Amino acid sequence: MGKRNYTTVSIPKSLAKTIKLRIQGTEFTSTSSYVTHILTEIEKEIEKMEDGQGKE
Whether pLDDT at 15 is above 60: yes
CA 47 – CA 9 distance, rounded (Å): 22
- Strands (E) in 1-56, as ranges, are none
Using the predicted structure, report yes or no on whether residue 41 has a pLDDT greater than 80: yes
Q: Is the pTM of this model over 0.75?
A: yes
CB crowding 28-49: b at 16 or more within 10 Å, else e: beebeebbeeeeeeeeeeeeee
Share of the chain above pLDDT 70, in %: 91
